[in-house]
Amino acid sequence: MKCLLEEIETMGEILVSKFLSYIAIRYGIRRDTGLEYIRDWCDGGYISIHNDIIKFMKKPDWWEQQ
């Protein structure tokens, strides 16, 4: 999940559908799994979604420790 969140940080913003397509094609991650990741990141305050656009908000506190 860290790798995917780093990619969102690099992208800055991306449509939810494009992100789900991207991770399915590049990593073989199912849509349902991608939606679970998105929900977890939203709950943590790492991303936000407005008008179906994912926007990177902040890095997790533990990000630099690994």
pLDDT tens-digit series, residues 22-66:
999 999 999 999 999 999 999 999 999 999 999 999 988 877 765
Largest CA distance in the chain: 33
Give the pLDDT score at 60: 86
23 domain residue, yes or no: yes
40 domain residue, yes or no: yes
Domain of 48 in residue numbering reads as 2-57
Question: Which amino acid type is present at position 6?
Answer: E
Number of domains in the chain: 1
34 domain residue, yes or no: yes
Question: CA gyration radius for the chain?
Answer: 11
Give the pLDDT score at 62: 78
Is the Cβ–Cβ distance between 14 and 54 less than 8 Å? yes
49 domain residue, yes or no: yes
| CATH number of the domain residue 6 falls in | 1.10.10.10
